[in-house]
Amino acid sequence: MATTAKKKLVQWDPTDIKAEMIAKYPPKVARKRAKQIMINEALENETPEILANVRTIPGIITMRGCTYAGCKGVIMGPTRDIVNLVHGPIGCGFYAWLTRRNQTEPGPDGENYMNYCFSTDMQDSDIIFGGEKRLIKAIQEAYDLFHPKAIGVFATCPVGLIGDDIHTIAKNMKKKLGDCNVFAFSCEGYKGVSQSAGHHIANNQVFRHVVGENDTPKEGEFKINLLGEYNIGGDGFEIDRIFKKCGITNISTFSGNSTYDQFASAHQADLSAVMCHRSINYVADMLEVKYGIPWIKVNFIGAEATAKSLRKIAMYFENQAFIDRVEKVIAEEMPDVEAAIADVLPRTKGKTAMIFVGGSRAHHYQELFKEMGMKVISAGYEFAHRDDYEGRQVLPLKVDADSRNIEEIEVEADPNLFHPRKSKEELEALEKAGLQFRHYDGLIPDMEKGTLVIDDLNQHEAEKLVELMKPDIFCAGIKEKFSIQKLGVPMKQLHSYDSGGPYAGFKGAINFYHEIDRLVNSKVWSYMKAPWQENPQLAGAYVWE
Ligand code: CFM
């Protein structure tokens, strides 16, 4: 029975909270979780190590998804003109079908397969006798019906277990069809400890099979790739609006509102701007090694962060007219932002928030809360790696049994297409002036001392945290939404944005301020009573304990 849970912790002590969160675990589990729950020391040059990207302990209700979700759903899902064919039982396809609010603009060609659910619909007999024939038939059928530019085949768990050779099938079908690029992803759900493994698999295959395929020159003076932006709730549309205003040509977004042609032309950009570091850093690195395109970290969540990111892009191109134009855009956009802040601030200042999302938003969204005068008292990722917490200086990380499953592809400078966009001296001069390349500081340095940084938070711990620290708002996903609301605390989904958004860029920031103001000041939650406030808590014990 928890005892301190009944104490009303007005002035909470992070050490007590941590102890309380793991108090009910068996000793071995508690020891492991203790390494994933960190009381932030926010040290200047050094951050303490956090355990991340490790298996969730069986029995714990994790917030994570599977490797297939990371590959098919996250990276490849937002590309409208590739047929994403799921090889597996229908359930895997169905639950990746329009469940992530990545939006798209069909464009003049109108090619858009996003609202379809393509699956081989594997049956028992396929599991027993093999599913290859069924896959070949499905690829042919998709081609005959739609004549797409490309078909991506995604392996679900049973495919890996029975050993269907999806890569050979893809190769043969590509040859047979002639005008359709067919490639496959060994992204079985069990391949890694979370969806993060799926990101890596998707990065590798897109780079191997698509990037560099289109050499038709792309016009534009300031050409960039926007990596790790998925157009959830229209975020990418807002960012593209700002880019257009600034005169930035976005060659390819990986992968919000993207097309096959964008991926195929990515090698023509002169800079990669990385938004979600976790999901796409592999492509950023490979583009640099193979084609000579440097990358910088950006963040378009938060008005100040957006301005800062635009300035970084402008700085890179070293063109005064462009720098001036970017400044003009910022000056035009900021008054509305400032007015919105002035409106909400008296109601939001001093309120507290918790953010537990994916592998980058738990960091990025802190910018928006800061702008509203709110304090993030606890945050963490579901599946990020140590570099997303502590910064890229901790790289390379130790390869363990789970990461060994994921292919690392060796990339070399392309004999024809490699050309360094900046000389070594130019890059050094820019670094000296404050523009950092291949750099990400991670979440920890941005959080205050004494806050709790928690990796792979689970349902039990989430409830404990909320019960003890009573934040004014809790941000996570649909699985957490209702259990948190039942605790009397407003909950905002930061994966799907509930039905809201965009929250990126300047206009997005304004949307977010109003939404959070509405939520943290809503009276409705204070009328709710948690069950334990009225009835004594029931506690059970396992017989074999
Ligand atoms: Fe990157 Fe994402 Fe995220 Fe992510 Fe995701 Fe997402 Fe996310 Mo949900 S790619 S790591 S795997 S920013 S789907 S758009 S919201 S968990 S924080």
The distance in angstroms from the start CA to the end CA of the chain is 14
Q: What percent of the chain has pLDDT above 70?
A: 95
23 contacts 464 by C-beta, under 8 angstroms: no
Q: Is 69 helix (H, G, I), strand (E, B) or coil?
A: helix
Q: Is 143 helix (H, G, I), strand (E, B) or coil?
A: helix
Catalytic residue (choose from 19, 34, 42, 100): 100
Ligand 1 centroid distance, CA of 73 (Å): 10
376 contacts 369 by C-beta, under 8 angstroms: yes
User: Which atom of ligand 1 is nearest the CA belonging to 195?
Assistant: 11
Residue 130, judged by CB atoms within 10 A of its CB (0-12, 13-18, 19+), counts as middle
Residue 8 has pLDDT above 50, yes or no: no
Residues forming a β-bridge with 199: none
pTM, to two decimals: 0.94
Residues forming a β-bridge with 453: 38, 379
Residue 100 Cβ < 6 Å to ligand 1: yes
Residue 358 Cβ < 6 Å to ligand 1: yes
From 199, 285, 220, 256, select the one nearest 504 (Cα to Cα): 256
Residue 277 Cβ < 6 Å to ligand 1: no
In eight-state DSSP terms, residue 213 is -
What pLDDT, in 10s, does the model give residues 466-488? 999 999 999 999 999 999 998 88
Mutate to test the pocket of ligand 1, among 101, 229, 278, 366 (most ligand atoms within 8 A of CB): 278
Rounded to 5 degrees, what angle do the CA atoms 202, 208, 213 make?
115
Catalytic-residue membership of 199: yes
Output the residue whose Cα is nearest ligand 1's atom 8. Answer: 495
User: Which atom of ligand 1 is nearest the CA belonging to 496?
Assistant: 15
pLDDT at residue 333 in the model: 98
73-99 burial string, b = 16+ CB within 10 Å, else e?
A: bbbbbbbbbbbbbbbbbeebbeebbee
What pLDDT, in 10s, does the model give residues 140-192? 999 999 999 999 999 999 999 999 999 999 999 999 999 999 999 999 999 99
Residue 64 Cβ < 6 Å to ligand 1: no
From 335, 299, 297, 310, select the one nearest 243 (Cα to Cα): 310
Residue 14 Cβ < 6 Å to ligand 1: no
Residue 185 Cβ < 6 Å to ligand 1: no
Catalytic-residue membership of 69: yes
How far, in Å, CA of 297 to CA of 395, rounded?
16
pLDDT at residue 44 in the model: 57
Other beta carbons within 10 angstroms of residue 239's beta carbon come to: 29
From 402, 400, 196, 365, select the one nearest 281 (Cα to Cα): 196
Residue 495 Cβ < 6 Å to ligand 1: yes
How far, in Å, CA of 175 to CA of 191, rounded?
28
What secondary structure does DSSP assign to 498-519, as a single string?
A: TT----BHHHHHHHHHHHHHHH
Phi, psi of 248 (to 5 degrees): -90, 130
Ligand 1 centroid distance, CA of 177 (Å): 34
What pLDDT, in 10s, does the model give residues 427-464? 999 999 999 999 999 999 999 999 999 999 999 999 99
Other beta carbons within 10 angstroms of residue 311's beta carbon come to: 15
Fold of the domain spanning 67-192: Rossmann fold (3.40.50)
Residue 177, judged by CB atoms within 10 A of its CB (0-12, 13-18, 19+), counts as middle
What secondary structure does DSSP assign to 333-399, as a single string?
A: HHHHHHHHHHHHHHHHTT-EEEEE-TTTHHHHHHHHHHHTT-EEEEEE-SS--HHHHH-GGGPSPPP
What pLDDT, in 10s, does the model give residues 68-122? 999 999 999 999 999 999 999 999 999 889 889 999 999 889 999 999 999 999 9
Output the residue whose Cα is nearest ligand 1's atom 16. Answer: 358
Per-residue confidence band for 7, with pLDDT thresholds at 50, 70 and 90 = very low
